[in-house]
Chain A
Amino acid sequence: MEIELVEIRDFLAKRPPFDALPEEQLNQLPKSLEIRYLRRGNLFPPGDATQGYIYILRSGAIELRDEEDNLVEKLGEGGIYTTDCQLIDFGRATHGLAAEDSLIYQLPCDLLKVLRKSEPAFDRHFAESIRDRLKQAVRTLKDNADESPIAQMTVEVSDLIKKSPITIDINCSIRQAAQLMSEKNVSSVMVMEQQKLAGIITDRDLRKRCIAAGISTDQLVSQIMTTNLETIQKNTMAIQALMTMTRLHVHHLPVLQGDTVVGMLTATDLARHQTTNSAFLASDIRKAATVEDLAIVSERLPDVQFQLANSNAAALHVGEAISCITDALTARLIEMAEAELGPPPVPYAWLCAGSQARHEQTSHSDQDNALLIADEMKPEHEAYFEALAKKVSDGLNACGYVYCPGNAMATNPKWRQTLRIWRKYFNTWINKPEPMALMLSSIFFDLRAVYGNMEMFDELRTDILNKTRGNGIFTAFMAANALQHRPPLGFFRTFVLIHGGAHDDTFDIKHRGIVPITDIARVFALDQGLTPVNTTERLEAAAETKVLSREMGENLVDAMEFIASIRIYHQAEQIRKGITPDNYLSPEELSDLERRHLKDAFRVIQEMQDAMENRYQGGRFL
């Protein structure tokens, strides 16, 4: 080829889809191009084209608009327009014009067809749907995950348990249990009563409760087994299991799938797979005697997030790991408070709300919490819970979880109430939805008990979901609320393109990317009465119902994962530079490919919001 067209070749070479072409094809490509110049205000695509072309913008800007003249897309340098080659890329765009004087390369559709036929990698760019592209993007993120130890923290418990469960019937003797344990060379055995887990016996139980206590080995295992077991589900993350073990001072956790026993997780299993780093973090939280100790431990949280991001752990798992550490810190603070204030006068549960409840926290977000207290509470108990809330909230603040600016904290008397009052609150929010209620809804409809009386919280949650399930008016309000945060249209040069055609230098990836999806997931969960709080789990559960198609559900899950990953990398970069992590992303941080995938993700959200607007007539109530 004429090497002299190297400038044009190089321009194409660094841009998808042309970057997928082999050297030889790429070198030939400039010769197939034609160059035009469109003055600002001229129609695009040019009306006088004698055949179909794919257009590549070399300089300038092109705006594409829909029937109602709303801006759909703005192309800048390197932007590609393929619609005239029967490739639907800007589905909603009906017309366009040059927003600036523009230099345009055009490539005949016929030639494009030839290239697509001969180069599969190039072809893929055009053939894939948004859905495939997003899937691929998420897969690529995960494929890059290395075998670094911290990445192992995000494995699930089921990956760590190797043996099938060792069980013994409740009517067996202690000796039989000991024999079985020796035979199988295990340190614990699960005791079953008619297919159900009744308890466990460990080496320590044999030592302390049997031999040392002088109990005959002919006695039944039920005499010495540990009941009231803490169990974990097999899809629990390793780090969460670690936190649970450390918190309970136990070395064995039965692993269930639903109600079925599938194995036993031991501290040794974990130790083999944990990084010393997070293992230390867990035990340091445990060992911390004062708030100051905890604050020091907590300083390592950004490092953990950074390492997780660097190991390319899925965003879903990073959020889970961070939330899990926050849970452990919170639990430890509550224990310290109880140690100081004495045991609680009546049962209570410490509730977390918002991103921590959804298991989607990034390091050191604001604290959102509340206290749920048993109805037996007397006025004289108020002081105890007030003091408890203050200690824990102050402690969290000292640990970097700053006070909630909206005062959605247990220290606020309004959010430190009995089960009866909480029920009343939710009743009002659900039956008389108002803007204020909607604002709170995004906090308190994502709720989870971290510590204390879990049953009481389950009762409240069941009550809430019973009231929201199939509640058309409430759902319409929630849907309208979910439409308030719109994703950007895309990117244009160093700007973010938002509805109405305005430009921003940065965009808030939380409010314009993540919040819209969590809002959508919440609407489905409440409408269908689904128990999950985590956005991905909510979407997966909703995709099993009639309100959300499986395909759309998958798209949203992928969109969430991709956006959340971008956010985590952005924050990891800030942590590396010693800047406080935030949610403000500048398009300049993004590669062409990331921009493209983000745009796909935005389009998925937009489609869902449009569908939601129709389904729930969301716009009507605001």
Chain B
Amino acid sequence: MLKHFLSLDSLRKRALSKAEPGALHDYLSTPLTSKRTQCEELSIVSLDLETTGLDPTKDKILSFGLVEMQHMTIKLETARHQLISIEDEIPEASAVIHQITDDQAATGVPLDEALPELLQRLAGKVMLVHYSAIEQNFISAACQKLFGAPFVIPIIDTLVLARRIFEHRNHTIQTGDLRLFNLRPRYNLPNYKAHNALSDAVATAELFLAMASDMVPQPSQCQLRRFLTR
């Protein structure tokens, strides 16, 4: 597809021209973080979504959790967890994973209220996720639906970074190796029992710090593009 050959910033401008006035338009008006930004100067938002399934056209966002990082330090005071109410029932199969029940979801806010806050938190920042397809596609689908334009953001995907590291070291990748909670012990990171959007966002942020210090022993000599996966 053509858009893969366009720079992220051109994509942003194109989306901006299509977006209706509102939260997405505001978001897209903020310049994206340059890929030449020094790592220590980066503002990163580690994000995780819980959804009812994997298909952004059918499935729904149930919650998001995020935490910001500055100077390669996770700032827990920025931690945010938001449940999102949906009209349908939560499929049992997904409830088992994210453990959000219908009752809990009912305490959340509708997506059209939650999305503006999320976009505002992400404006001008880098999005850090583990397996970016979910976050990118679900937010983009929501943006299309609510504001008529796609969502554009520079992304660091720890799953992609992990695959690169494995391949670079000629390690064969076994099923499950690239899962967040299987990667963490490789970097001496503790096990977290809880599984929700915020704890996964924190877990992903920690994993990224560990990977970054592994990939770039001298943080002063590193730029965002070293980690950018989109």
Chain A interface residues toward B at CB < 8 A: 2, 4-8, 30-39, 42, 48, 58-60, 77, 100-103, 106
Chain A hits for B206, CB < 8 A: 35, 37, 103
CA distance A101 to B184 in the complex (A): 12
Chain A hits for B14, CB < 8 A: none
Nearest-neighbour CB distance to chain B for A101, whole angstroms, equals 4
Contact B188 A102 (CB under 8 A): yes
Contact A39 B213 (CB under 8 A): yes
Q: Does B122 contact A (CB under 8 A)?
A: no
Top-8 shortest CB links A-B: A37-B209, A35-B74, A4-B198, A39-B213, A101-B188, A59-B190, A4-B81, A33-B76
Contact B65 A36 (CB under 8 A): no
Q: Does B54 contact A (CB under 8 A)?
A: no
Chain A hits for B166, CB < 8 A: none
CA distance A2 to B65 in the complex (A): 10
Q: Mark B177-198, 1 if CB is under 8 A from A, else 0.
A: 0000000000111101110111
Residue ID in chain B nearest A6 by CB atoms:
B194
7 CB < 8 A contacts A-B: A5-B76, A32-B77, A35-B206, A36-B209, A38-B213, A101-B187, A106-B73
Chain A hits for B167, CB < 8 A: none
Chain B hits for A31, CB < 8 A: 76-77, 79
CA distance A348 to B196 in the complex (A): 81
Contact A101 B190 (CB under 8 A): no
Q: Which of B64-98 contact A (CB under 8 A)?
A: 65, 71-77, 79-81
Chain A hits for B193, CB < 8 A: 7
Chain A hits for B71, CB < 8 A: 48
Beyond A48-B40, A103-B206, 19 extra complex contacts between A and B, CB < 8 Å: A4-B196, A5-B79, A5-B199, A8-B76, A31-B76, A34-B73, A34-B75, A35-B73, A35-B202, A36-B74, A37-B72, A37-B213, A38-B213, A58-B190, A59-B189, A101-B187, A103-B189, A103-B210, A106-B73
Residue ID in chain B nearest A105 by CB atoms:
B76
CA distance A38 to B198 in the complex (A): 23
Our pick among B188, B194, B196, B199 for the contact of A100 (Cβ within 8 Å) is B188
Nearest-neighbour CB distance to chain A for B218, whole angstroms, equals 11
CA distance A102 to B197 in the complex (A): 24
Nearest-neighbour CB distance to chain A for B108, whole angstroms, equals 14
A2-B198, A5-B198 as given contacts; A59 in contact with B65, CB under 8 Å: no
Nearest-neighbour CB distance to chain B for A49, whole angstroms, equals 10
CA distance A329 to B188 in the complex (A): 57
Residue ID in chain B nearest A36 by CB atoms:
B73
Q: Does B21 contact A (CB under 8 A)?
A: no
Contact A2 B81 (CB under 8 A): yes
A2-B79, A2-B81, A4-B199 as given contacts; A34 in contact with B188, CB under 8 Å: no
A34-B74, A103-B206 as given contacts; A39 in contact with B196, CB under 8 Å: no
Chain B hits for A32, CB < 8 A: 76-77
Nearest-neighbour CB distance to chain B for A216, whole angstroms, equals 91
Chain A hits for B190, CB < 8 A: 58-59, 77, 103
Our pick among B65, B209, B210 for the contact of A4 (Cβ within 8 Å) is B65
Nearest-neighbour CB distance to chain A for B206, whole angstroms, equals 6
Q: Does B217 contact A (CB under 8 A)?
A: yes
Chain A hits for B224, CB < 8 A: none
A59-B190, A60-B188, A103-B188 as given contacts; A37 in contact with B210, CB under 8 Å: yes
Nearest-neighbour CB distance to chain A for B117, whole angstroms, equals 15
Nearest-neighbour CB distance to chain A for B156, whole angstroms, equals 15
CA distance A38 to B202 in the complex (A): 16
CA distance A77 to B191 in the complex (A): 13
Residue ID in chain A nearest B187 by CB atoms:
A101
Nearest-neighbour CB distance to chain B for A130, whole angstroms, equals 30
Contact B194 A7 (CB under 8 A): yes
Chain B hits for A37, CB < 8 A: 72, 187, 206, 209-210, 213
Residue ID in chain B nearest A32 by CB atoms:
B77
Chain B hits for A5, CB < 8 A: 76, 79, 198-199, 202
A5-B79, A102-B188 as given contacts; A39 in contact with B214, CB under 8 Å: yes
Q: Mark B17-57, 1 if CB is under 8 A from A, else 0.
A: 00000000000000000000000100000000000000000
Contact B198 A36 (CB under 8 A): no
A35-B73, A35-B74, A35-B76 as given contacts; A4 in contact with B194, CB under 8 Å: yes
Q: Does B155 contact A (CB under 8 A)?
A: no
Contact B217 A39 (CB under 8 A): yes
Which of A4, A34, A59, A60 counts the most chain B CB atoms within 10 A?
A4
Chain B hits for A60, CB < 8 A: 188
Residue ID in chain A nearest B80 by CB atoms:
A2
Chain A hits for B76, CB < 8 A: 5, 8, 30-35
Chain A hits for B197, CB < 8 A: 4
Q: Does B205 contact A (CB under 8 A)?
A: yes
Chain A hits for B73, CB < 8 A: 34-36, 106
Our pick among B187, B199, B209, B217 for the contact of A35 (Cβ within 8 Å) is B209
CA distance A59 to B192 in the complex (A): 12
Nearest-neighbour CB distance to chain A for B48, whole angstroms, equals 11
Contact B188 A59 (CB under 8 A): yes
Nearest-neighbour CB distance to chain B for A292, whole angstroms, equals 58
CA distance A581 to B76 in the complex (A): 49
CA distance A413 to B58 in the complex (A): 97
Contact A35 B77 (CB under 8 A): no
Nearest-neighbour CB distance to chain B for A594, whole angstroms, equals 24
Q: Mark B146-190, 1 if CB is under 8 A from A, else 0.
A: 000000000000000000000000000000000000000001111
CA distance A596 to B137 in the complex (A): 51
Residue ID in chain A nearest B210 by CB atoms:
A37
Chain A hits for B80, CB < 8 A: 2
Nearest-neighbour CB distance to chain A for B214, whole angstroms, equals 7
CA distance A282 to B223 in the complex (A): 81
Residue ID in chain B nearest A50 by CB atoms:
B71
CA distance A42 to B210 in the complex (A): 13
Residue ID in chain A nearest B70 by CB atoms:
A34
CA distance A101 to B188 in the complex (A): 6
Chain A hits for B210, CB < 8 A: 37, 39, 101, 103
Chain B hits for A2, CB < 8 A: 79-81, 198
Residue ID in chain A nearest B190 by CB atoms:
A59
Chain A hits for B189, CB < 8 A: 59, 103
Chain B hits for A30, CB < 8 A: 76, 79
Nearest-neighbour CB distance to chain A for B220, whole angstroms, equals 9
A2-B198, A39-B214 as given contacts; A7 in contact with B192, CB under 8 Å: yes
Residue ID in chain B nearest A29 by CB atoms:
B76
Nearest-neighbour CB distance to chain B for A51, whole angstroms, equals 12
Chain B hits for A103, CB < 8 A: 188-190, 206, 210
CA distance A36 to B209 in the complex (A): 7
CA distance A37 to B206 in the complex (A): 7
